[in-house]
């Protein structure tokens, strides 16, 4: 489908930003912006579906279960409980998660890795169908991992644009209705992400979001200013997060991404790992301020990653966000991986007799976060105390 130029008044040359300040000619910059018009609301046959699915996933009292670890990272996690990294064991682990009783009361979407999207339960039922039975929309991680940017101090860009359109089309056919692409930005002592890393990652996220929407998948846009070592302050994290998100939103706009049909997955603002920790009220103050300054109200849901926070910390901080912003224009909610899976995995230990207990922990964690999303969490927490969950953050180049 081609965008009609006449339906796009004055879009050509409206910015030099998308093409960068590089020495591209004015003519070629203009044409690249015109091509981006393919993804506009008017031209996209999926527009209404994208809006409806984004709204469905981010409705109040619901969040996302992030279970899209690559096979390598899943292997690292299974290793911690002495379980081998085989396809069958990965299937069992995901089956435990997706069939937890009542999970659909608190979880509206589950992000999967490609293997899992096509996998069946032990009984031969497609995982996508098991999820749909619980009212949970299946999602798919579509990036293919991080690559170091040459000439930087270990900063990264995210790969996966090659064949992305064809892959998204196939994922939609298999039942996926949303996608995820994770970009990682680092703060080191006294220094934030470079302009190169910010621009490159914003560009990747915008191109991905445009392609996902063209193929009917709601893009989760994940610019993670990652929690790392160092004594940097919460103010620094807020400052750099603001820079990163404002660039991302600018590029989404340049690429005509339909904002009502995306979900944002950012980090909460936390101080560095070697700095004194911040209270939930402080985390909420800086996180809400950052969102208010950068994210338009047309974005339906802001689904925070847990990013290494403990299970209880993730819930308390989520609750504090609602207190700090009771009438938020977006749903301030969760898309947690480790904060939902860690205690569940420890309880399971790969043993059949622990299956039900592990599922009960997962549902209880999801319920606690659902209550926190509604500002109604009162405790006690199903996984109280506990330290940061920093193990097996990411493994190799192929994913988180
Ligand atoms: P964590 O909640 O473990 O940070 O994972 C969420 C996620 O999907 C990061 O890409």
Mean pLDDT across the stretch 310-335? 97
Residue 252 lies in a domain: yes
For the chain, the domain total comes to 1
pLDDT-based confidence at 391, cuts 50/70/90? low
* Lowest pLDDT segment from 3-12, 97-106, 174-183: 3-12
Residue 354 in domain: yes
- Would you state the pLDDT for residue 145? 95
- pTM confidence score: 0.90
For ligand 1, the distance from its centroid to the CA atom of residue 111, given in whole angstroms, is 10
DSSP state of 277: P
CA distance 204 to 199: 9
In a domain? residue 270 = yes
Q: Is the minimum distance from the CB of 182 to ligand 1 under 6 angstroms?
A: yes
> How far is ligand 1, taken at its centre, from the CA of residue 393, in Å?
9
Q: 137-194: per-residue pLDDT in tens?
A: 999 999 999 999 999 989 999 999 999 999 999 999 999 999 999 999 999 877 999 9
25 within domain boundaries: no
Q: Give per-residue pLDDT as tens, 160-173.
A: 999 999 999 999 99
Residue 338 CB less than 6 A away from ligand 1: yes
Looking at residue 392, its pLDDT comes to 45
pLDDT confidence tier of residue 26, bands split at 50, 70 and 90: very low
Is residue 137 included in any domain, yes or no? yes
- Which CATH number does the domain housing residue 269 bear? 3.20.20.70
Structural domain harbouring 166: 44-373
Residue 267 belongs to some domain of the structure:
yes
Residue 30 lies in a domain: no
Q: Give the chain's mean pLDDT.
A: 90
Provide long-range contacts, Cβ within 8 A and 24+ apart, for 379-388.
Answer: 381/311, 381/312, 381/315, 382/311, 382/343, 383/310, 383/311, 383/312, 383/342, 383/343, 384/312, 385/310, 385/312, 386/310, 386/311, 386/312, 386/343, 387/310, 388/273, 388/308, 388/309, 388/310, 388/313
Q: Is the pLDDT of residue 1 over 90?
A: no
Q: What is the pLDDT of residues 205-263, one digit of tens each?
A: 999 999 999 999 999 999 999 999 999 999 999 999 999 999 999 999 999 999 999 99
Ligand 1 midpoint to CA 33 (Å): 32
Nearest CA to ligand 1 atom 8: 66
* CB of 280 sitting under 6 A from ligand 1: no
Using the atom order of ligand 1, give the atom closest to the CA of residue 308.
Answer: 4
What's the CA gap between 133 and 389, in Å, rounded? 31
- Residues annotated as catalytic are 222, 265
Kindly state whether residue 260 falls inside one of the protein's structural domains. yes
Could you write out the DSSP letters of every residue in 219-276? EEEEEEEE--SS---HHHHHHHHHHHHHHHHHHHHHTT--GGG-EE--PPP---TTSP
């Amino acid at each position: 489908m081609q965008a009609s130029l006449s339906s796009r008044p004055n879009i050509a040359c409206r910015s030099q930003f998308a093409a960068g300040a590089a020495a591209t000619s004015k003519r070629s910059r203009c044409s690249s912006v015109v091509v981006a018009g393919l993804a506009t609301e008017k031209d996209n046959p999926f527009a209404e579906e994208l809006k409806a699915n984004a709204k469905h996933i981010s409705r109040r009292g619901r969040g996302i279960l992030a279970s899209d670890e690559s096979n390598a990272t899943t292997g690292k996690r299974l290793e911690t409980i002495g379980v081998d990294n085989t396809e069958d064991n990965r299937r069992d682990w995901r089956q435990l998660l997706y069939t937890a009783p009542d999970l659909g009361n608190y979880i509206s979407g589950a992000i999967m890795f490609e293997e899992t999207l096509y996998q069946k339960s032990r009984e031969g039922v497609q995982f996508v169908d098991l999820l749909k039975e619980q009212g949970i929309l299946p999602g798919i991680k579509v990036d293919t991992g991080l690559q170091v940017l040459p000439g930087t101090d270990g900063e990264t860009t995210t790969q996966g644009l090659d064949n992305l359109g064809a892959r998204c089309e196939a994922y939609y056919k298999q039942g996926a209705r949303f996608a995820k692409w994770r970009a990682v930005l680092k703060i080191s002592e006294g220094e934030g992400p470079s302009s190169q890393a910010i621009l490159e990652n914003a560009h990747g996220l915008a191109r991905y979001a445009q392609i996902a929407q063209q193929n009917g998948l709601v893009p989760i846009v994940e610019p993670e200013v990652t929690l790392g070592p160092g004594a940097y302050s919460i103010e620094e994290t807020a400052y750099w997060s603001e820079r990163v998100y404002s660039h991302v939103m600018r590029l989404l706009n340049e690429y005509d991404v339909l904002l009502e049909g995306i979900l944002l997955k950012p980090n909460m603002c936390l101080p560095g790992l070697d700095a004194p920790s911040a209270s939930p009220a402080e985390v909420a103050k800086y996180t809400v301020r950052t969102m208010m300054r950068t994210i338009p109200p047309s974005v339906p849901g802001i689904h925070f990653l847990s990013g290494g926070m403990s299970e209880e910390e993730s819930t308390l901080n989520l609750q504090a966000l609602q207190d700090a912003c009771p009438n938020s224009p977006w749903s301030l909610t969760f898309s947690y991986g480790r904060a939902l899976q860690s205690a569940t995995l420890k309880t399971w230990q790969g043993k059949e007799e622990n299956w039900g207990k592990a599922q009960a922990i997962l549902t209880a964690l999801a319920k606690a976060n659902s209550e926190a999303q509604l500002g109604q969490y009162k405790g006690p927490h199903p996984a109280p105390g506990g330290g940061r969950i920093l193990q097996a953050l990411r493994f190799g180049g192929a994913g988180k």
